[in-house]
Homo-oligomer: A and B are copies of this chain.
């Protein structure tokens, strides 16, 4: 008997519904439905008043409507009766203030015009002063939870975003019974049950399996107005693949799904890609390579050190500590250089870059064009190209930029290895894995095999996998994530192995990269930071 699982993958612009055969990993139906209002960053819909700088909002109704459409679409090729479970992944940290009954405050007439009542998308960056405050106070108090985030939290995360509401819109803050992750809110829409997913709670919500939630005393020290903030949070933490609830009759009616279908707790989109890439244990660094890169690695051991963005127990796959690192700009760097800077056709440049030998250009680039996340955690660093001569060519700089991002990944790999988290191979998915030049350079520079996910939709596939796990064996799913992963993912589409000669040259170039990395990123951070300050002042 055929059995399917469904993944609902909520990205920045749209939701994707993917239906997967639980026995063979065949992707049987897929639909994408964009959010009607997209990313709201200029004005609220239909209003003229400009939003403040760095705002990025969404309309929660869009999620429901797009889900309905995408689900109805896939159900045309995959009958609802055969879907044993549903998984949900969502961008993070994307949050919204709601009433206890799940009603988003922005849907109430009195809050409709208040941007702080809307969904704050992951890339809403206006809470930087609040993040600075968390870091400063946390450091001063030596809050142990900060150790799980290399000592630094981001303006994208839950606490700064909640603080921003409390400070800028006290009435919204007061009226909010709950402030929840959008992924958890979505699961509530499907099931009528509130759960808090361990993934978003752990990586973005300062929740810790050992330390619990931030204390009243810490929150109060941040700002007396948020002393009781934790009261507004969901507290029933649920790990990925654990059943959060069953599809409600109401949502079944809306979407055509079968009422009673098990739904997994939500996960963060990138993290969902790990299982979608077929990774279920130690030794693999999983990378989602797109406009930016997100790196995840599983380990049985907890190692606290500076260099990752966060570590959470059971955060990615139950049974493991999941570590997360990031590079703020990867595909964005290549797009900037080819499209914006040169205005040159990407293909021609890439073709020329492919003909170059390692080291031939004499160039080395620092890849921090959008700041440096792991391992330096400094948004005010910037990019550099070293070794320019009067015969330097655009394709040489382009290749150096690719190499720069690979060196950046190597720094991340070395940080894990140096601290006892094994990394023996890379698994990759995302928009950039179609480019063999990029992947061969990564293999040669990092010195590890790079295997490309079989699925083009590894993130949605990961969600489907957790859907099948949430179903459980008795309901036609799987007992464990590793079983589901083994059945529902296929062998790599390709594996890139390091070329010995290239790797040798790149080892030398990496030493140059590392010296520049340490000089500008550690010893003399004031140089790049000073340039950013001058930019802002001019």
Q: Which residues of A contact B (CB under 8 A)?
A: 329, 332-333, 336, 340-342, 357-364, 369-370, 382-394, 505, 508-509, 512, 515-516, 519-520, 524, 527-528, 530-532, 534-535, 537-538
| Contact B393–A382 (Cβ < 8 Å) | no
A389 contact from B357, B383, B524, Cβ within 8 A: B383
Q: A393-B341, A527-B516, A534-B508 are in contact. Are A384 and B386 (CB under 8 A)?
A: yes
A-B contact pairs, 7 of them (CB 8 A): A359-B537, A370-B389, A382-B388, A383-B387, A383-B392, A505-B534, A515-B527
| Contact A512–B530 (Cβ < 8 Å) | yes
Give the residues in chain B near A530, CB-CB below 8 Å: 508, 512
| Contact B390–A386 (Cβ < 8 Å) | no
Q: How far is the CB of A521 from chain B (nearest CB, A)?
A: 12
| Contact B342–A390 (Cβ < 8 Å) | no
Q: How far is the CB of A386 from chain B (nearest CB, A)?
A: 5
Q: A527-B515, A534-B509, A535-B362 are in contact. Are A369 and B384 (CB under 8 A)?
A: no
Give the residues in chain B near A519, CB-CB below 8 Å: 519, 524
In the bound complex, CA of A136 to CA of B364 (Å): 31
Q: How far is the CB of A142 from chain B (nearest CB, A)?
A: 33
Q: How far is the CB of A535 from chain B (nearest CB, A)?
A: 4
Give the residues in chain B near A385, CB-CB below 8 Å: 384-385, 388
In the bound complex, CA of A77 to CA of B385 (Å): 54
In the bound complex, CA of A359 to CA of B530 (Å): 10
In the bound complex, CA of A525 to CA of B390 (Å): 19
Q: A342-B342, A393-B341 are in contact. Are A535 and B384 (CB under 8 A)?
A: no
In the bound complex, CA of A537 to CA of B520 (Å): 28
Give the residues in chain B near A333, CB-CB below 8 Å: 390
When C-beta atoms are compared, the residue in chain B nearest to A362 turns out to be: B535
In the bound complex, CA of A516 to CA of B386 (Å): 11
A370 contact from B340, B370, B390, B512, Cβ within 8 A: B390
Nearest 6 A-B pairs (CB), nearest first? A383-B388, A359-B534, A362-B535, A360-B538, A362-B531, A387-B531
Give the residues in chain B near A535, CB-CB below 8 Å: 359-362, 387
In the bound complex, CA of A531 to CA of B364 (Å): 8
Give the residues in chain B near A340, CB-CB below 8 Å: 390-391, 393
Q: How far is the CB of A376 from chain B (nearest CB, A)?
A: 16
Give the residues in chain B near A393, CB-CB below 8 Å: 340-341
Q: A363-B531, A527-B515, A534-B509 are in contact. Are A388 and B384 (CB under 8 A)?
A: yes
Q: A512-B531, A534-B362 are in contact. Are A369 and B389 (CB under 8 A)?
A: yes
In the bound complex, CA of A388 to CA of B387 (Å): 15
| Contact B528–A332 (Cβ < 8 Å) | no
| Contact B531–A524 (Cβ < 8 Å) | no
When C-beta atoms are compared, the residue in chain B nearest to A513 turns out to be: B527
In the bound complex, CA of A512 to CA of B388 (Å): 18
| Contact A386–B528 (Cβ < 8 Å) | yes
Give the residues in chain B near A532, CB-CB below 8 Å: 362, 387
When C-beta atoms are compared, the residue in chain B nearest to A335 turns out to be: B390
When C-beta atoms are compared, the residue in chain B nearest to A516 turns out to be: B527
Q: How far is the CB of A354 from chain B (nearest CB, A)?
A: 15
Give the residues in chain B near A389, CB-CB below 8 Å: 369-370, 382-383
Q: How far is the CB of A350 from chain B (nearest CB, A)?
A: 17
| Contact B342–A369 (Cβ < 8 Å) | no
A515 contact from B342, B391, B524, Cβ within 8 A: B524
In the bound complex, CA of A357 to CA of B364 (Å): 28
In the bound complex, CA of A389 to CA of B384 (Å): 9
Give the residues in chain B near A384, CB-CB below 8 Å: 384-388
Give the residues in chain B near A394, CB-CB below 8 Å: 341
In the bound complex, CA of A389 to CA of B368 (Å): 8
| Contact B362–A329 (Cβ < 8 Å) | no
In the bound complex, CA of A391 to CA of B383 (Å): 11
Q: How far is the CB of A353 from chain B (nearest CB, A)?
A: 14
Q: How far is the CB of A230 from chain B (nearest CB, A)?
A: 37
Give the residues in chain B near A364, CB-CB below 8 Å: 531
When C-beta atoms are compared, the residue in chain B nearest to A527 turns out to be: B512
Q: How far is the CB of A188 from chain B (nearest CB, A)?
A: 36
In the bound complex, CA of A384 to CA of B530 (Å): 17
Q: A342-B342, A387-B528, A390-B333 are in contact. Are A538 and B359 (CB under 8 A)?
A: yes
